[in-house]
């Protein structure tokens, strides 16, 4: 079965601190995709990144960076120099190429990040 | 480029009543999804369409929920009759194809009293 675990329920940091959100996944698929989404208080899910299982290169986008390690089944997300606008719930998600259900996103329970000024 | 549109944004109904939600995906996106997000949890897929065909409805409570995408564009999700446990946010998403990034609409917050 596919599963995504975000062990951190809530994290609180002070502005300008770096913060890492953990994501551990389980899948039997050899081809799969990992995603991060941001859900601000307004409620709309905002796409941040998609990685496929064959691409283990880390990615950096501005203050955001992602560390994908197949050996530990982890896809962690780091925000450098956090800002108040980063306050949101962050979801890690997984989809695979199994059966006829490609694209079905399996979400973790989310990590609520609060950045205080 | 216009995003995924959903209406209504909020709905309050009594249990055993019926309700319908509407979604218009991003133009050109063949795959459309309906998710249910209960407070404090991640979204859970209810149904996935590829054009106007159902790809996956294994988690759709078919005794009360139904969905259609007749012309392969807009979609409606219906609940009849509603139960208290259906109180949630119903999210519609679309993607160019399966396994591409999904773009989500603002959601419909349903409260069943």
pLDDT in tens, B20-48: 999 999 999 999 999 999 999 999 999 99
Tens of pLDDT along A88-97? Answer: 999 999 988 7
CA nearest to B47 within chain A: A104
- Average pLDDT rounded to a whole number, residues A27-52: 91
- Average pLDDT rounded to a whole number, residues B6-31: 96
Chain B residue numbers with beta carbons less than 8 Å from the beta carbon of A101 are 48, 55-56, 58
Residue B70: pLDDT over 90: no
For residues B70 and A83, which has the higher predicted lDDT (pLDDT)?
A83
Nearest to B95 among A44, A93, A103 (CB): A103
Inter-chain Cβ pairs, chain A and chain B, closer than 8 A = 66
Distances (CA, A) of B46 to A96, B61, B79: 17, 8, 12
Tens of pLDDT along A1-13? Answer: 789 999 999 999 9
DSSP code string of B27-84: TT--EEEEEEE-TTS--EEEEEEETTEEEE-TTS-TTTEEEE-TTSS-EEEEESS--G
């Amino acid at each position: 079965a596919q599963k995504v675990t975000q062990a951190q329920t809530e994290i609180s940091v002070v502005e300008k601190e770096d913060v890492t959100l953990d994501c551990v996944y389980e899948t039997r698929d050899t081809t799969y995709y990992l995603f991060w989404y941001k859900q601000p208080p307004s409620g709309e899910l905002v796409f941040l990144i998609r990685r496929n299982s064959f691409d283990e290169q880390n990615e950096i986008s501005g203050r955001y960076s992602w560390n994908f390690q197949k050996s530990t089944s982890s896809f962690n997300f780091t925000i450098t120099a956090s800002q108040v606008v980063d306050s949101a719930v962050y979801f890690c998600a997984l989809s695979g190429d199994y059966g006829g259900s490609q694209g079905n996103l399996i979400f973790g329970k989310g990590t609520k990040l609060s950045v205080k000024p | 480029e216009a995003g995924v549109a959903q209406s209504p944004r909020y709905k309050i109904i009594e249990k055993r009543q019926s309700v319908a939600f509407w979604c218009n995906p991003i133009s050109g996106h063949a795959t459309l999804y309906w998710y249910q997000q209960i407070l404090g949890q991640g979204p859970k897929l209810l149904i996935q369409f590829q054009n106007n065909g159902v790809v996956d409805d294994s988690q759709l409570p078919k005794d009360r929920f139904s969905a259609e995408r007749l012309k392969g564009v807009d979609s409606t999700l219906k609940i009849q009759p509603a139960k208290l446990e259906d109180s949630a946010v119903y999210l519609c998403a679309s993607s160019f194809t399966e396994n591409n990034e999904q773009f989500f609409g603002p959601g419909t917050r349903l409260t069943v009293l």
